[in-house]
């Protein structure tokens, strides 16, 4: 699924947990042994483990969209006062809600096609 944030194209991809762990291990010096998802800043992709149940995918997408949103706008939590972060969170909730509504619609269509 493709979406845009700050005029930049991003994509949500379902991949294997092994693919997620492999990329994270490259960044974290093999300290990662398990992961549900990641926000790949270089490729503008959010990866989620395709083996998870629908609800866990939903929660993981919310988590990764949060990384995506704040990174795209250059927000670093230790650099901004609480009020600025609160204002950004409002925008984040609207952004995440729009993306998740679209994702749920696509997932429902997939389920309907299986039946």
Domain ranges of the chain: 2-114
Banded pLDDT at 75 (limits 50, 70, 90): confident
Highest mean pLDDT among 1-10, 61-70, 72-81: 1-10
| pLDDT tens-digit series, residues 10-65 | 999 999 999 999 888 887 766 767 889 999 989 999 999 999 998 899 888 888 88
Ranges of H-type helices in the chain? 17-28, 54-72, 82-114
List Cβ neighbours of 108 (8 Å cut-off, separation of 6 or more).
none
User: pTM, whole model, 2 decimals?
Assistant: 0.74
């Amino acid at each position: 699924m493709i979406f845009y944030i700050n005029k930049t194209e991003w994509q949500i991809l379902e991949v294997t947990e092994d693919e997620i762990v492999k990329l994270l291990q490259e960044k974290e010096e093999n300290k990662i042994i398990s992961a549900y998802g990641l926000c790949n800043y270089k490729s503008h992709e959010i990866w989620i483990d395709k083996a998870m149940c629908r609800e866990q995918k939903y929660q993981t997408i919310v988590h990764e969209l949060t990384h995506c949103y704040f990174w795209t706008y250059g927000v670093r939590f230790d650099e901004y006062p609480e009020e600025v972060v609160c204002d950004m969170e409002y925008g984040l909730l609207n952004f995440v809600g729009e993306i998740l509504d679209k994702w749920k619609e696509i997932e429902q269509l997939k389920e309907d096609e299986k039946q």
